[in-house]
């Protein structure tokens, strides 16, 4: 989803940011990337692309994230390239997350491949989250499979993403986590159920609203309110 349009930036200011991106100090380059938040997408992206392959990992990570926020037609192909080719798994994970921010359905197949084929769980985690951000119904089978992952964080990501996709077929599977020992899993479940209107969701949310962990109970109550606002509760 594109950000609201920004007013044109003074050319002198834009030149100043461009020069700062050429600094020998990584901290300066990161500050310059932060300043690009005030710059319209079409002006910001060419500058981001100058440092997206930076030798400094922090600068690269920041630039990859920026490509998910500042969006032009150049953003998607570069992020896909990074997701599939970058040797650093943290940067690949950043690229997967940024593709989720783009909410571009053309990223679907690459994210699915990353989930199935990348050997690093962090990349798979980011791919699952991004698939939820896409809200693409084709992600259902992938995310259901992610529920069986041994990593609890992947389970959390899959539950949240299935809620974003909103496919009611996921209900029976994710409700198996209602008594998970991990409170974050239960919290993600409570949040996801707010996007899955059904009698089963209401029953589970009433149960989770009495959870001993305050964050889980609060998430369940918030989801019950959301369902009420959608007219699910009578």
Confidence of residue 230 (pLDDT cuts 50, 70, 90): confident
Please tell me whether residue 131 adopts helix, strand or coil conformation: helix
- What is the CATH code for 135-229? 1.25.10.10
Q: Which residues contact 5 (CB under 8 A, 6 or more apart)?
A: 40
Closest by CA to 180, choosing from 141, 202, 207, is: 207
| Parts of the chain belonging to CATH 1.25.10.10 | 1-119, 135-229
Contact (Cβ atoms closer than 8 angstroms) between residue 111 and residue 130:
yes
Tens of pLDDT along 143-177? 999 999 999 999 999 999 999 999 999 999 999 99
- Check residue 5 and give its pLDDT: 53
Tens of pLDDT along 107-147? 999 999 999 999 999 999 999 999 999 999 999 999 999 99
In this predicted structure, the answer to whether residue 213 has a pLDDT above a threshold of 60 is yes
C-alpha 195/C-alpha 217 separation (Å) is 16
Long-range contacts of 52-59 (CB under 8 A, 24+ apart): 52/78, 52/82, 54/26, 54/29, 56/26, 56/29, 57/88, 57/90, 57/91, 58/26, 58/30, 59/26, 59/29, 59/30, 59/33
Closest by CA to 138, choosing from 101, 111, 175, is: 111
pTM of the model: 0.87
In this predicted structure, the answer to whether residue 4 has a pLDDT above a threshold of 80 is no
- CATH 1.25.10.10 is held by the domain 1-119: yes
Tens of pLDDT along 180-191? 999 999 999 999
């Amino acid at each position: 989803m594109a950000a609201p349009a920004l007013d044109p930036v003074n050319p002198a200011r834009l030149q100043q940011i461009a020069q700062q991106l050429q600094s020998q100090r990584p901290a300066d380059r990161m500050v310059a990337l932060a300043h690009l938040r005030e710059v319209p997408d079409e002006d910001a992206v060419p500058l981001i692309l100058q440092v997206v392959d930076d030798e400094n990992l922090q600068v690269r990570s920041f630039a990859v994230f920026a490509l998910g926020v500042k969006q032009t037609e150049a953003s998607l192909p570069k992020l896909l390239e990074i997701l599939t080719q970058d040797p650093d798994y943290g940067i690949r994970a950043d690229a997967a997350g940024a593709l989720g921010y783009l909410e571009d359905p053309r990223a679907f197949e690459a994210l699915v491949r990353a989930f199935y084929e990348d050997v690093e769980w962090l990349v798979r985690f980011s791919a699952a989250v991004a698939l939820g951000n896409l809200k693409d119904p084709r992600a259902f089978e992938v995310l259901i499979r992610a529920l069986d992952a041994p990593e609890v964080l992947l389970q959390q990501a899959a539950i949240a993403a299935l809620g974003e996709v909103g496919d009611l077929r996921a209900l029976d599977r994710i409700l198996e986590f209602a008594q998970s020992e991990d409170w974050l899993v239960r919290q993600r479940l409570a949040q996801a159920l707010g996007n899955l209107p059904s009698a089963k969701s209401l029953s589970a949310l009433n149960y989770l609203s009495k959870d001993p962990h305050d964050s889980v109970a609060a998430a369940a109550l918030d989801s019950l309110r959301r369902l009420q606002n959608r007219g699910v509760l009578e």
